[in-house]
């Protein structure tokens, strides 16, 4: 009788360990899927078409402030930042229109 309880106890611990691993893997997958639509806010990026360059800084709330020497560079940077900020929305709408929203949210 004691041997059966020992086997059941080991089996219960195994099930608990597998559940913990599955929850951790699911959380990691959700984080990766959610974060890939967020804009990159650090570093330097070279964009074809810029004449003299533009500088994009963000305040603590993530609001972009763009400075450029030419209006062409300003509007190009503004379009890039706008598309970057809307990437998550565009990704969700793409999945909605294809009927595959469950790929993102399960």
How confident is residue 89, by pLDDT bands cut at 50, 70 and 90? confident
Residue 37 pLDDT exceeds 70 = no
Range 21-37 average pLDDT:
84
Quick one: pLDDT at residue 19?
95
Query: 53-63 burial by CB neighbour count: b if 16+ within 10 A, else e?
Result: ebebeeeeeee
The larger pLDDT score, comparing residue 64 to residue 4, is at 64
Cβ-based neighbours of 42, under 8 Å, separated by 6 or more: none
């Amino acid at each position: 009788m004691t041997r059966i309880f020992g086997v059941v106890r080991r089996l219960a611990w195994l099930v608990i360990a597998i559940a913990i691993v599955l929850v951790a893997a699911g959380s990691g997958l959700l984080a990766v899927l959610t974060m890939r639509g967020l804009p990159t806010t650090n570093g330097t990026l070279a964009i074809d078409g810029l004449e003299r360059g533009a500088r994009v800084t963000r305040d603590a709330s993530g609001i972009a402030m763009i400075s450029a020497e030419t209006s062409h560079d300003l509007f190009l940077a503004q379009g890039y930042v706008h598309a970057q900020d809307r990437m998550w929305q565009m990704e969700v709408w793409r999945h909605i229109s294809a009927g595959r929203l469950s790929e993102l949210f399960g």
